[in-house]
Structure 1
Amino acid sequence: MTKPLEPLPQGSCDCHVHLFGPAGRYPFSPDRVYTPGDAGEDELRALHARLGISRVVLVQPSPYGTDNRRMLAGLERLGSAAKGVAVIGLGTPPDELDRLHAQGVRGVRVNIATHGMDDPEEAWRLIQGQAQQVARLGWHVQILARLNVIEVLAARLMELATRVVIDHFGLPDLALGPEQPGFSGVLRLAGSGKATIKISAIQRLAGRGHLARAIPFIRALSAENPEALVWGSDWPHTGGGRGVGRAATDIEPFEAMDDAEALSCLTEAISDPAQRHAILVDNPAVLYGF
């Protein structure tokens, strides 16, 4: 792994990582679509030391379902430099949400795409219900959904009582450029001031050896509103076993990834130091309450 081309500003935040294992202590959901190996705090700290990152957001990964214990253990171990995004059920009681807030959780993730949900109306009912649950806490609703769903729901998402965070650029095909059908919905959300877009999962969306495909997307989003952007590595890069006929219960390898190279896409796309500072430091500080 190489260092980024330029030093990162003090207080830079990686807004999208997952922690896994050990499975004997933190069992996976029987409904999971993949089974990861272990990826813990020591490896994460080492990565961030190399990159020059001092803050992190732990996002509840789908294999754990609504059991947030592994993510919460990470928040405890990483201390004030970490915040969390949980996955909850529609019946999660308010006192449980209060406990999550006290432990550092600042958002809830709605995994629309993970389980193949493609109906915008079904997705809206879930998003709206979760927003109603967490609005009083000042949390945001983080949405993993595909462009067709986001485009249909964009206007309604702007009217939610909570802020909206769009995962992984909205899952576009980076090979098709920002003019592709559906990405206009993500751009409208960015420009609205009501949503945050995560510049994350570049390696998953671009393909190995093609990370620069993300640069036009970053520039298009920044042209709409640089205050609407945050960056995330998506470490430890799940999905190394996609397309090989692996059962959901088989341990799937992580993808080999140079995170410094992925981060350099951001620094290449954004030449203005003030905008870089906003994306890496200021915007995460406001969104997550660092």
Structure 2
Amino acid sequence: MSDRKVSWHANPSTPSFKLPPGAVDAHCHVFGPTAEFPLSPKAKYTPQDAGPDMLFALRDRLGISRNIIVQASCHGTDNAATLNAIAKSRGKARGVAVVDLAISDFELERLHDGGIRAVRFNFLKRLVDEAPKDKFLEISRRILPLGWHTVVYFEADILEEMRSFLDAIPTLVIIDHMGRPDVTRHPDGPEMGAFRSLLDSREDIWTKVTCPDRLDPRGPPWNDFARFASPLVSDYQDRVVWGTDWPHPNMEDAVPDDGDLVDMIPRIAPTADLQRKLLIENPMRLYWPEEATLRGIVPATD
């Protein structure tokens, strides 16, 4: 199909920053391969294939050890492509699913066995047709016994109306991409103040300090993004994770260099301790908690 888009860099640079061993890319996707895993008929965008082989090649090129594969909205609630990538990762990937609201307990267990550890609720109107909060809350209650968490994607202008919904989620919550703030504004302004108020309201609300390419309209070197994200990493250092967002859905007009994305890390997490928490400790205790405890990455809890 000639109208299918390419949103990823064909030859990303080698980062100047060397990732610490064990670093986790906690937000990436796969597209297809569509001959085996077709796009959803409701897909709002139609990307070219970007399957697990491409993802793992990028992982190795950048020096990443593990991936958290987030179900791409172009695949709808059919998580087969994500499960396929996890299965091919040789234990180096976990996943975040998007599920049908009528999903059975048996199917949730099957997703768990396949490496899924969270569900994602998307509130971007350009990507989804409906976002029923009451039904989402029911799903979040049903995943609680599995030890999963909930990922929520929304834009900053609806944060206030989202608060009661977020307050009611019974699992740990991760907010995608810092709630998509306008990073050209002052980082101490009302928009980030509202987001910090959300983080302060519950110790189990985390965020992903991701997507400078998506959030910073001034482009590389993404100075406004760094100005926004760095204080969050410092102030909420036990509740932040990082990811590439590869293959960068809908970014075909401003394709980022993944090497440059890695080089953002020391700008938002300038110390080795912050880098270890952002890249290793935090994602490991979310997605591989038993291994993290066994290896002493995080301390054992009673």
The alignment's TM-score, normalised by the length of structure 2, stands at 0.84
Instruction: Give the CA deviation at 1:112.
Output: 0.9
Tell me whether 215-224 or 63-72 shows the greater mean CA deviation. Answer: 215-224
User: Unaligned 5+ residue runs, structure 2?
Assistant: 1-11, 290-302
TM-superposed CA distance for 1:240, in Å, is 3.6
Residue 86 of structure 2 corresponds to residue 87 of structure 1: no
Q: Distance in 1 between matches of 2:127 and 2:82?
A: 24
In structure 2, what is the Cα distance between the partners aligned to 1:123 and 1:188? 24
Q: Partner amino acid for 2:71?
A: Q
Task: Indicate the residue corresponding to 1:289 in structure 2.
Answer: 288
Q: How does 1:1-290 map onto structure 2 within 5 Å? A: 1-115=12-126, 124-154=133-163, 157-191=166-200, 192-207=202-217, 208-241=219-252, 255-289=254-288
Superposed displacement of residue 177, structure 1 = 3.7
After superposition, the C-alpha distances for 1:170-194 in whole angstroms (9 at most, x for unaligned) are 1112222434543333323434321
Gap regions ≥5 residues in structure 1: 243-254
Q: 1:2: how far off?
A: 3.2
Distance 1:137 1:214 in 2: 35
How far residue 129 of structure 1 moved from its aligned partner, in angstroms, is 2.4
Question: Are the equivalent residues in 1 in contact too, given 2:33–2:81 (CA < 8 A)?
Answer: no
SS at match of 1:90: coil
Q: Distance in 1 between matches of 2:128 and 2:170?
A: 23
**Could you say if the C-alpha distance between residues 155 and 270 of structure 1 is closer, same or farther in structure 2, counting changes exceeding 3 Å?**
farther
Aligned-partner Cα distance in 1 for 2:264–2:211 = 12
Contact 1:3–1:50 (8 Å) recurs in 2: yes
Question: What secondary structure is seen at the aligned counterpart in 1 of 2:91?
Answer: helix
Question: Percent identity of the aligned residues?
Answer: 33
Whether the 8 Å contact between 1:16 and 1:59 is mirrored in structure 2 is yes
Deviates more, 1:45-54 or 1:170-179: 170-179
More helix by share: 1
In 2, Cα distance between the equivalents of 1:204 and 1:53?
21
Matched to 1:143, the amino acid is V
The total of aligned residue pairs comes to: 276
Check the 8 A contact 1:118/1:149 in 2, yes or no.
Answer: no
Relative to structure 1, is the Cα distance of residues 160 and 256 closer, same or farther in structure 2, using a 3 angstrom cutoff? closer
Normalising by structure 1, report the TM-score: 0.87
Please report how far the alpha carbon of residue 104 of structure 1 lies from its aligned counterpart in structure 2 after TM superposition.
0.5
